[in-house]
Amino acid sequence: MLKTFIATAAILALGTGAALAHVSLQVKEAPVGSTYKAILQVPHGCEGKPTTTVRVQIPEGVIAVKPQPKAGWTIEKVKGTYAKSYDYYGTPTSEGVKELIWSGGSLADDEYDEFALRVFLTPDLKAGETLYFPVVQECAGGLAERWIEIPAAGQSSDDLELPAPGLKLLEKVSGH
């Protein structure tokens, strides 16, 4: 009985450690047609080096992007044209932020931090699917971790070495 308990605890500890090692979203589900606060959790640096830049690619269908400033970090908003025009509370919207870059800070390898942004998930997104926010974490010494892998059909994020943070899209909530 004790051996089974110890083995189970060890497996759970390994699984938890692996899950915490990835850049991930704090809240992993949100309804389409709503505002969503994405909080990216960065749990470590690259091979012992501090993180100096965090780049987030904004997926198509995500508009009205507003990053949260962080003391000691500079925010760059890379803007561009969307694949189509979206309705944003009655205003046609065909361009906006497509990438956010926090840079100039230093997050030590043995520290943890969060990078937040507020977005609108258009009703054009498909409920039941997972939306991925690819992240590139750049570190001192030219090192980088590219959290950009998206599962192919039949795979899950657990099958990938460097999975992009994913958000499960839920049905639109009716009402105001």
The residue ranges of every structural domain in the chain are 24-150+161-170
Tens place of pLDDT per residue across the chain (176 aa): 444 444 444 433 333 344 447 899 999 999 999 999 999 999 999 999 999 999 999 999 999 999 999 999 999 999 999 999 999 999 999 999 999 999 999 999 999 999 999 999 999 999 999 999 999 999 999 999 999 999 998 998 899 999 999 999 999 988 65
Phi, then psi, of 100 in degrees rounded to 5: -115, 140
| Contact present, 122 and 91 (Cβ < 8 Å) | no
pLDDT at residue 41 in the model: 97
- DSSP annotation of 109 reads T
Say which CATH topology domain 24-150+161-170 has. Immunoglobulin-like (2.60.40)
Which among 67, 98, 66 is positioned nearest to 82, based on CA atoms? 98
Greatest Cα pair distance, the chain, in angstroms, is: 63
- DSSP annotation of 46 reads B
- CA-to-CA separations, 99 to 80, 86, 133, 137, 163, in angstroms, rounded: 9, 18, 10, 13, 18
In angstroms, the CA 152 to CA 119 distance is 25
pLDDT at residue 77 in the model: 98
Global pTM reads 0.86
Per the structure block, which two tokens stand in for 169? 């899209």
pLDDT at residue 174 in the model: 80
pLDDT at residue 21 in the model: 72
Which among 100, 105, 115, 114 is positioned nearest to 139, based on CA atoms? 105
pLDDT at residue 68 in the model: 97
pLDDT at residue 6 in the model: 42
pLDDT at residue 176 in the model: 56
